[in-house]
Amino acid sequence: MDVLQSIMLGFSIALTPTNLFYAFFGSLVGTVIGVLPGIGPLCTIAMILPTTFGMNPTSAMIMMAAVYYGAQYGGSTTSILLNIPGESASVMTTLDGYQMARQGRAGVALATAAISSFIAGTISVIGLMLLAPPLAKIALKFGPPEYFSLMLLGLTTIVFLGGRSIVKSMVSIILGLLLGIVGLDPMGGVSRFTLDQLELMDGINFIVVVMGVFGIGEVLVSAEEKMKISILKTKLSGLIPTLKDCKEATGATLRGSVIGFFIGVLPGTGATIASFLSYATEKMVSKHPEKFGKGAIEGVAGPEAANNAAVGGAMVPLFTLGIPGSGTTAVMMGAMMMWGLRPGPLLFVQHQDFIWGIIASMYIGNVMLLILNLPLVPLFASMLRVPYSILYPFILVVCITGVYSLENSMFHVFLMFLFGIVGYLVKKLDFPPAPIVLALILGPMVERAIYQSLTMSHGSLSILVTRPFSASFLVLVLIVLAIPVIRWSKERRKA
Amino acid sequence: MKISKVFTLLILTSMVLSPAFLAAAGPYPEKTIEFVTHSAPGGGSDIFSRHIANLMEKEKLVPVPLVVVNKSGGSGAIAVAYVAPKAGDSYTIFATSPGIYATLVKGEVKASIVDFTPICSLIEDPNVLVVRADAPYKNVKEFIAEARKKRKGLSLGLSSLGGGDHAIAIKMGEATGVEFNIVSFKQGTEAIMAILGGHVDFGLGNPGETAGQIESGQLRVLATATDRRLPQMPNIPTLKEEGIDVSYTSIRGIIGPKDMPKDVVKYWETAFQKLTQTQSWKKYIEKEKVLDAYKGSADFGKFLEKELPRLRGDLVGFGLIKKK
């Protein structure tokens, strides 16, 4: 069966009223939980899991997938409006999205996020449809050394994401890396800095840090300043992106889609890393990198495209290899096993209707999300008119609920408040907060990967340079490190 | 007179409606059961618990829902610490797995097996040795010969530190005199991916985890680490048949908190025994490639009494528990 026939079969399944309903319902739920900080697709899908037992597996999976990609749409909303990321994958969107909102361009930022999410979502479904089997083969080539080098590239690029001072970025990164040390060590299982708290044995959950540093930190900082409201009240009229905006955002969206899709394919990396690699790329290819962090539209379009495209990518290993690419797809795989489907390479052959029905529904769901999200833009943007004295207690409640829902534990709520204080200090002292979170996510992965690589090579570092993928990432690391030096020397010559 | 009658009636009604009275009168169970699992949604123990809860409901073996509660973290420590203080509670049951046994003997949690009531064992997870389909060794003898060629010549994709795969690899090493290069992964799926990609040479685990890859011919089973051949794969020899005296299975079962009332334990023992006799249970066993291993409360308790000290010995041997 060729692709065209398969996708026709898929649409014939996805377009039945029942499945359309589930795609819509999933998209709606996804949008809502995406908007609410802390509550992510993973725990939502886990919660709706028991309700799917009586359902047709295809319909159930269509709904779950819709929740997953729907959440990536919604996640940008609070990032842009309140500087509080709805999901970890929307941390990067705070950098420029919030600045755009402060300049009265909240509507443009929200619309850009929705449109680039739509384009990226569609591109990644096409990628999933056409490239899944060959891509899965490439993903298999990624062993621990490749992951190490890729993550190292990620860590290197973080340095240049933050604001004006590289030194301050480095301090934030080191703080994040130190936080990443907490927990059981990956090889020996020895607990490190857990202070005899069982809750710390798995390390510090980065969502707790995101909610604390961004959410609580933002509330604390704003509690001091009263007058910011007037800034945000200014013109909400500019809701529709101008032609110039579109031009600037297009390249970023396309690059973000490609980066997001490929990073999404690699198990364990996912939407968060995709979003910041995209941001870093945009900042590097841009002719005016100084605009980033001050409301550059590319800084919204790129990461938002990347985190949506990563969803389609994450489906590749799930469908072709039976290996989940992210925490959320792991739950989906669990669900498939409960419905009696065996995730694995044979799924594509034995359950064509299932696979293609879902793929087709992802096209439809993305259209639904665009239609659902665009009219919401003015509504959300007008949220900025709500006085902070009403809005901020509400944010506190949402943050507490979201973090509590992670593990149903008050410990994490207290930890979030602790990081709220960190967030306050970081903002007051003008350290960039995003690198803390990113380094916390990457640190443990880098550590495990280097351990694994060195075990594989019996202790020799040469394994990192003798494998082609790994070596090329390391070359990229060198290039990334060289760029600021080159720029700096150019500027000096000019001066 | 009338007033006192109304009064009496009122008292009687309120007695009947009061929760205390209801609790004394109604048959067990009257409210939702909390079914605790130590793995996150999608993890092995989570899937196991949800399957059980689903089957119990489908077969109408309990009149109330079993709600799966994920208390993930710290290799089961969070779940253990959550259930242990619930002494006397009749409405919490806990799915155990080898990971929980390890947590109970490691001593990081202030709880041990005496803080729990064994209810029953349900299944036995067999372990099998898998390699990539195009690996040059076709049987265990060739596999060991290859491993012998150089020190730490073959690498294992380890999915659980101190778990069944760790134990089997070390015991196989002791039995044959070879040493494996152990690369530890965060979870089973990552280890499988590394085997598929050729980054490590073999894996040890439940055949249910790799069934998809085995069926499609990407992975090959060399042997089972069981006492007898598995009914689901009759052509695969056991390690014992191949001259390596190693077998290791993991028992999954159900435990409750300490001092669970005797009739409640009996209730669950019977309910689960009925479950294991249903057709849908047999289908589940077949599909997941596990073994039926029902044992009642007393027998399961005896098993745990023997199993836990043995496991502790193993973990001390691997250097994962420091002798104090």
pTM of the model: 0.86
Contact B205, B228 (CB under 8 A): no
pLDDT of B141 strictly over 90: yes
Assess whether the previous peptide bond of B118 is cis (omega < 30° from 0): no
Residues 162-201 of A with CB under 8 A from B: 184, 186-189, 191, 198-199, 201
Q: Which of B67, B182, B197 sits opposite A141 (nearest CB)?
A: B197
Q: What is the pLDDT of residue B180?
A: 95
Contact B214, B130 (CB under 8 A): yes
Q: Distance (Å, rounded) from C-alpha A480 to C-alpha B230?
A: 54
Pick the CATH number of B31-123+250-317 from 3.40.190.150, 1.10.260.40, 3.40.50.11540, 3.10.20.600: 3.40.190.150
Q: Distance (Å, rounded) from C-alpha A241 to C-alpha B283?
A: 57
pLDDT digits (tens, 9 = 90+) for A166-215: 889 899 999 999 999 998 888 777 889 988 888 888 889 888 999 999 99
pLDDT digits (tens, 9 = 90+) for B161-179: 888 889 999 999 999 999 9
Q: What is the pLDDT of residue B1?
A: 46
Residues 251-310 of A with CB under 8 A from B: 267-268
Does B52 lie at the interface with A, CB-CB under 8 angstroms?
Answer: no
- Highest mean predicted confidence (pLDDT) among A237-241, A337-341, B281-285: B281-285
Mutation pick from B70, B80, B190 vs chain A, by most beta carbons of A within 10 Å, is B190
Give, to the nearest 10 degrees, the angle between helix A298-320 and helix A270-285. Answer: 140
Q: Give the CA angle between residues A55, A40, B41 to the nearest 5°.
A: 55
Q: Distance (Å, rounded) from C-alpha B263 to C-alpha B277?
A: 21
Q: Where in chain B is the domain with CATH 3.40.190.150?
A: 31-123+250-317
* A236: confidence class by pLDDT, cuts 50, 70, 90: low
In order of B20, B83, B91, the CA distances from B26 in angstroms are 10, 25, 14
Tell me the shortest Cα–Cα distance from A398 to chain B, in angstroms: 22
Query: Number of Cβ pairs closer than 8 Å across A and B?
Result: 146
pLDDT digits (tens, 9 = 90+) for B246-262: 998 889 999 999 999 99
At B261, give phi and psi (nearest 5°): -55, 145
pLDDT digits (tens, 9 = 90+) for A42-57: 888 888 887 887 789 9
CATH topology of domain B128-224: D-Maltodextrin-Binding Protein; domain 2 (3.40.190)
Q: Where in chain B is the domain with CATH 3.40.190.10?
A: 128-224
The reply to whether residue B212 touches residue A346, judged by beta carbons under 8 angstroms, is yes
Contact A5, A353 (CB under 8 A): no
Q: What is the DSSP letter of B238?
A: B
Q: What is the pLDDT of residue B84?
A: 92
Of residues A423 and A289, the one with the higher pLDDT is: A423
* A415: confidence class by pLDDT, cuts 50, 70, 90: very high
* B20: confidence class by pLDDT, cuts 50, 70, 90: very low
The mean pLDDT value for A298-303 works out to 94
At B124, give phi and psi (nearest 5°): -120, 120
Q: Distance (Å, rounded) from C-alpha B74 to C-alpha A328?
A: 20
The mean pLDDT value for A114-136 works out to 92
Tell me the shortest Cα–Cα distance from B211 to chain A, in angstroms: 8
Q: Distance (Å, rounded) from C-alpha B124 to C-alpha B69?
A: 22
